[in-house]
Chain A
Amino acid sequence: MRAGKKLTRVFRAMVGRSYPRIIGSNRDKSWLFYDTVLPLLGTVAFVYVYKALGAPERFIGYVIMGGATTAFWMNVMWSMAAQFYWEKQGGNLELYMMMPCGLTPILLGMSLGGLVATLLRAILIVSLGSLLFHVSYTLPQVPLFLLIFTITIIALYGLGVVFASLFLFWGREAWHTVNLFMEPVFLASGFYFPVRALGFWVGLGASIIPLTLGLDAMRQLLFAGMHPALLPVEVELAILGFVAILFILLARHLLQKMEYLARREGRLSLRF
């Protein structure tokens, strides 16, 4: 098959798999409540804690940004990392595995669909939170901000694919494994406070989660001169780029490995 034809198929497969995610958000509107109002309540609680402590106004902005970013982390863990496990239970995985397009475009489609829906959720959380608490942002470097956000998302979804492969093999109960990664990451990545507060080395260690550096870099741009940065924006951007490439390569390797193991051991297609 020619490369052009192959590429077209990859694109079509990606769009095809993203469709249920996008249309799903449209058909079942309950997510408006569960995915925006409920996370916002948690965010609001932190806002009042900061207000009670008399923290600077920018902390309210930190919390709202953290609340919005939580949506991406939850999407990656619940709808990507654990997704193959559920696809297996539902009987889709073996069909996906025998599709000539391969698993990669199907996973990319999953990410794309999840990203569109989550982006909408994040925008809603930021808008509502900012309106409620009168937070204003200054953003003189829009292209740089968008670049940081894009690379963070690429690295994050790459990590999602890595987890998807791992969960499939070693996560008998993906549900519990996902839970295991929730609260520690909320803490270590500084979702509701500057990660620098944990100390430089802890912050640096937590940088393996792309959201840590992504959030820190975006906060530096939004609250210029006031934010206690972990590293300069340019350095954080470079590390994020490296992490993104690392996760993409690792994800590719693990997917191939997973497919081989699945075919060898029959663990994905047969419940013998």
Chain B
Amino acid sequence: MWDESPEGMGELAVETKNLVRIYRRKRSSQDSQERQVIALDGVNVEIPYGELFGLLGPNGAGKTTLIKILVTLLLPTSGTARVAGLDVVQQAYQVRELISMVSGGEHSGYGLLTVREQLWMFSQFYGLPTRLALARIDELLKIVGLYEERNRRVSDLSTGMRQKMNLVRGLLSDPLVFFLDEPTVGLDVSAARDIRAYIKEWIREKPGRTILLTTHYMQEAEELCDRVAIIHKGRIIACDSPAALRRSAASGSYFLLTTERLSEDGWLKEVPGVRRVDIRVLDGRTEIRLQVAEDGVIAEVVRALADRERKIYSLTKVEPSLEDVFMQLVGRRMEEADEGR
């Protein structure tokens, strides 16, 4: 699609400097007062070519706002953003030649068209000659396992199939920088796994191409991304490889403990050496994720449970996850930090 090499397009695939985006919204239609929502608050990101970069954060953290600015759909309030060395405000049309975006839960296109027709229509917006477009569509449909459905109407596709078709739509123009906004949201486990596999395969086969992926699934970020930025309340609060981020949270040891349901759990934090306690109730049992100062502390926890005559069903030492990193940085689990909670 694009003729020039990445080398001729700036040193970074994506670069933002002090990016700020403020929304102004009226409280109600009768109210003349406006409220300000700071969606991005001085975001600095540098993504080199060839990287699969993840933006991880709860709902309302600013992930979609950042992606919308980078794909030229939204203007920043202040700061700068560049894609392939091009300014997304001043050179929006040049940027659009080089990028593509697929969002989770996307229902684009027209239900009465077949899969192949729909994809052909989008290929025409990029100016692809029909023969080339159809050959590319068929090739990509085979890769995502949707070739047999090529003549099926879009309205008859399942959610997972539809998202695979959207992924093909995004790849039709062979973008230099590919933006994926929560691409597996709402998909079943199998469809989400397929989508992640295609994403990994695409970037492996296309060296020099870049993916910016937003997600609020920790596992997805860990599995796919070379580097992950954690975004919270419009600010990047950490940015590194998943392994390095986990190491940063690795002071002490982590244990996963399942017990009989606990009626009261405040005492756990009082056990000497316990740094953090995260409790979930599952099927009448209590799952406790513990960060402790050193391995020996767990014996004190077990003893305290025995004193309270609580059965222990399982005890496992676990590696710190991005969830732990997020908890360490924000003080809450990702799902608790979702907008409005």
Residues of A in contact with B (beta carbons under 8 Å apart): 1, 5, 8-9, 12-13, 15-17, 19-20, 23-24, 27-28, 90-92, 94-102, 105-106, 262-264, 266, 268-270, 272
Q: How far is the CA of A102 from the CA of B97 in the complex (A)?
A: 11
Pairs across A and B, CB under 8 Å, 14 listed:
A5-B127, A16-B120, A20-B113, A20-B121, A91-B106, A95-B108, A98-B72, A98-B101, A99-B126, A101-B125, A102-B93, A263-B92, A266-B68, A269-B68
Q: Give the residues in chain B near A24, CB-CB below 8 Å.
A: 110, 112
Q: Give the residues in chain A near B126, CB-CB below 8 Å.
A: 9, 99-101
Residue of B nearest to A12 (CB): B124
Residue of B nearest to A172 (CB): B29
Residue of B nearest to A259 (CB): B92
Is B23 located at the chain interface by the 8 A CB criterion? yes
Q: How far is the CA of A118 from the CA of B208 in the complex (A)?
A: 48
Is B198 located at the chain interface by the 8 A CB criterion? no
Q: B23 contacts A16, CB within 8 Å?
A: no
Q: Give the residues in chain B near A268, CB-CB below 8 Å.
A: 73
Given contacts A91-B106, A263-B74, contact A100 B93 (CB under 8 A): yes
Q: A90 contacts B107, CB within 8 Å?
A: yes
Question: Among A17, A97, A98, which residue has its beta carbon within 8 angstroms of that of B99?
Answer: A98
Question: Among B106, B113, B127, which residue has its beta carbon within 8 angstroms of that of A9?
Answer: B127
Q: B110 contacts A8, CB within 8 Å?
A: no
Give the size of the chain B interface in residues (CB under 8 angstroms).
36
Is B96 located at the chain interface by the 8 A CB criterion? yes
Q: A19 contacts B72, CB within 8 Å?
A: no
Is B163 located at the chain interface by the 8 A CB criterion? no
Q: Give the residues in chain B near A101, CB-CB below 8 Å.
A: 125-127
Q: B117 contacts A19, CB within 8 Å?
A: yes
Question: Scoring B residues 82 to 99 as 1 if CB is less than 8 Å from chain A, else 0, what string do you get?
Answer: 000000000011001101
Residues 109 to 150 of chain B near chain A (Cβ within 8 Å) = 109-110, 112-113, 117, 120-129
Other A-B pairs, 18, CB within 8 Å; known A12-B129, A13-B125, A99-B126: A1-B97, A9-B126, A12-B125, A13-B124, A16-B120, A16-B121, A16-B125, A19-B113, A19-B121, A20-B117, A24-B110, A97-B73, A98-B101, A263-B74, A263-B92, A270-B65, A272-B23, A272-B25
Q: B96 contacts A100, CB within 8 Å?
A: yes
Question: Scoring B residues 64 to 81 as 1 if CB is less than 8 Å from chain A, else 0, what string do you get?
Answer: 110010011111000000
Q: B125 contacts A270, CB within 8 Å?
A: no
Q: A13 contacts B65, CB within 8 Å?
A: no
Q: Give the residues in chain B near A5, CB-CB below 8 Å.
A: 127
Q: How far is the CA of A263 from the CA of B92 in the complex (A)?
A: 11
Q: A92 contacts B109, CB within 8 Å?
A: yes
Is B37 located at the chain interface by the 8 A CB criterion? yes
Question: Among A13, A102, A269, which residue has its beta carbon within 8 angstroms of that of B74?
Answer: A269
Q: Give the residues in chain B near A270, CB-CB below 8 Å.
A: 64-65, 68, 74
Q: A92 contacts B108, CB within 8 Å?
A: yes
What's the dominant secondary structure at chain B's contact region?
Answer: mixed
Whole-angstrom distance between the Cβ of A234 and the nearest chain B Cβ: 40
Q: Give the residues in chain A near B107, CB-CB below 8 Å.
A: 90-91
Q: How far is the CA of A24 from the CA of B109 in the complex (A)?
A: 13
Q: B121 contacts A99, CB within 8 Å?
A: no
Q: Of residues B112, B123, B124, which shows the largest number of chain A Cβ atoms within 10 Å of its Cβ? A: B124
Q: How far is the CA of A171 from the CA of B214 in the complex (A)?
A: 33
Q: A98 contacts B23, CB within 8 Å?
A: no
Whole-angstrom distance between the Cβ of B14 and the nearest chain A Cβ: 15
Q: B128 contacts A12, CB within 8 Å?
A: yes
Q: How far is the CA of A264 from the CA of B21 in the complex (A)?
A: 10
Q: How far is the CA of A101 from the CA of B117 in the complex (A)?
A: 19
Whole-angstrom distance between the Cβ of B304 and the nearest chain A Cβ: 47
Residue of A nearest to B101 (CB): A98
Residue of A nearest to B24 (CB): A265
Q: Give the residues in chain B near A20, CB-CB below 8 Å.
A: 110, 112-113, 117, 121
Residue of A nearest to B179 (CB): A98
Q: How far is the CA of A102 from the CA of B126 in the complex (A)?
A: 10
Whole-angstrom distance between the Cβ of B75 and the nearest chain A Cβ: 5
Given contacts A5-B127, A266-B68, A270-B64, contact A98 B73 (CB under 8 A): yes
Whole-angstrom distance between the Cβ of B125 and the nearest chain A Cβ: 4
Q: Give the residues in chain B near A94, CB-CB below 8 Å.
A: 73
Q: Give the residues in chain B near A28, CB-CB below 8 Å.
A: 112
Q: Give the residues in chain A near B64, CB-CB below 8 Å.
A: 270
Q: B121 contacts A17, CB within 8 Å?
A: yes
Please name the 3 residue pairs, one residue from A and one from B, whose CB atoms are nearest each other, closest first.
A16-B124, A9-B127, A99-B125
Q: Give the residues in chain B near A91, CB-CB below 8 Å.
A: 106-108
Q: A99 contacts B112, CB within 8 Å?
A: no
Residues 254 to 269 of chain B near chain A (Cβ within 8 Å) = none
Q: How far is the CA of A98 from the CA of B129 in the complex (A)?
A: 20
Q: A16 contacts B122, CB within 8 Å?
A: yes
Q: Give the residues in chain A near B129, CB-CB below 8 Å.
A: 12
Whole-angstrom distance between the Cβ of B85 and the nearest chain A Cβ: 17
Q: How far is the CA of A100 from the CA of B71 in the complex (A)?
A: 11
Residue of A nearest to B100 (CB): A98
Q: A263 contacts B72, CB within 8 Å?
A: yes
Residue of B nearest to A268 (CB): B73
Residue of A nearest to B93 (CB): A100
Q: A269 contacts B23, CB within 8 Å?
A: no
Q: How far is the CA of A23 from the CA of B123 in the complex (A)?
A: 17
Q: How far is the CA of A101 from the CA of B93 in the complex (A)?
A: 8
